[in-house]
């Protein structure tokens, strides 16, 4: 989802430059890299990243930002988790000085430009709406919301569209430019005229 043409051009600027070797980190790396390349920054300024949720995925995001911080001119400035020991552990490991236990406080931090949301599924939508309202760009773990929250998903899509913020969903496989290349090859006649397509979605759970 993107807010306007500026956001769209930011998306189209998602190059492979941030590629770090594994599918799991490509999308986040590309997003943070792209965000940093579209900002007008002073010589000593960096894009400030705030990570909300410091469990499995949050730690992965922290690791990505640390790896690309010089190339992408980004820095993790704050972490947030409702479970303090986990936030503290992540802050120590990735040398982050600011810890919050309430995401509203992190969103109120002027050093935070972009947030990564790595909390449980049913919280993503609300935290993303709060982030938009606070003027932050967002990298959000998949799924965008819990599957029962379809209205919330639509509301988020509307609010992102009406904002000038970037929202990138962390469905890494779909960020792979192999799909765009394949679409082009099919359009160019690779398999002749397509007459039938099948796709499936398989996941254990409700």
Ligand X SMILES: NC(=O)c1ccc[n+]([C@@H]2O[C@H](COP(=O)([O-])OP(=O)(O)OC[C@H]3O[C@@H](n4cnc5c(N)ncnc54)[C@H](O)[C@@H]3O)[C@@H](O)[C@H]2O)c1
Task: Please choose, out of 1-9, 41-49, 113-121, 156-164, the segment that lies near ligand X by the rule CB under 6 A.
Answer: 113-121
Q: Rule CB under 6 A: say whether 105 interacts with ligand X.
A: no
Residue selected from 12, 71, 84, 120 as contacting ligand X according to rule CB under 6 A: 120
Please tell me whether residue 96 binds ligand X under the rule CB under 6 A.
Answer: no
Q: Determine, following the binding rule CB under 6 A, whether residue 147 of this chain makes contact with ligand X.
A: no
Q: Is 55 in the site for ligand X (CB under 6 A)?
A: yes
CB burial class (10 A; 0-12, 13-18, 19+) of residue 141? buried
Single out the residue of 18, 48, 50, 53 in contact with ligand X (rule: CB under 6 A).
53
Interaction of residue 136 with ligand X, rule CB under 6 A: no
Interface with ligand X in residues 162-201 (CB under 6 A): 170, 172
Q: Under the criterion CB under 6 A, does residue 35 sit at the interface with ligand X?
A: no
Binding site for ligand X (CB under 6 A): 52-58, 80-83, 86, 103, 118-121, 123, 141-142, 170, 172
């Amino acid at each position: 989802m993107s807010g306007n043409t500026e956001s769209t051009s930011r998306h189209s600027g998602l190059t492979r430059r941030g590629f770090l070797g594994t599918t799991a980190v490509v999308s986040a790396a590309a997003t943070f890299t792209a965000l940093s390349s579209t900002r007008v920054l002073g010589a000593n300024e960096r894009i400030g990243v705030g990570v909300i949720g410091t469990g499995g995925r949050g730690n992965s995001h922290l690791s990505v930002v640390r790896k690309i911080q010089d190339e992408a001119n980004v820095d993790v400035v704050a972490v947030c988790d409702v479970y303090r020991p986990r936030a503290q552990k992540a802050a120590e490991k990735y040398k982050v000085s600011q810890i919050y236990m309430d995401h509203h406080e992190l969103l109120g931090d002027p050093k935070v430009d972009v947030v990564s949301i790595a909390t449980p599924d049913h919280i993503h939508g609300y935290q993303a709406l709060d982030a938009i309202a606070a003027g932050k760009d967002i990298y959000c773990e998949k799924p965008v919301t819990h599957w029962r929250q379809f209205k919330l998903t639509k509301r988020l899509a509307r609010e992102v569209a009406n904002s000038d913020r970037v929202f990138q969903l962390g469905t890494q496989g779909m960020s792979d430019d192999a799909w765009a290349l394949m679409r082009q090859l099919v359009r160019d006649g690779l398999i002749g005229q397509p007459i039938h397509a099948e796709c499936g979605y398989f996941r254990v759970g409700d």
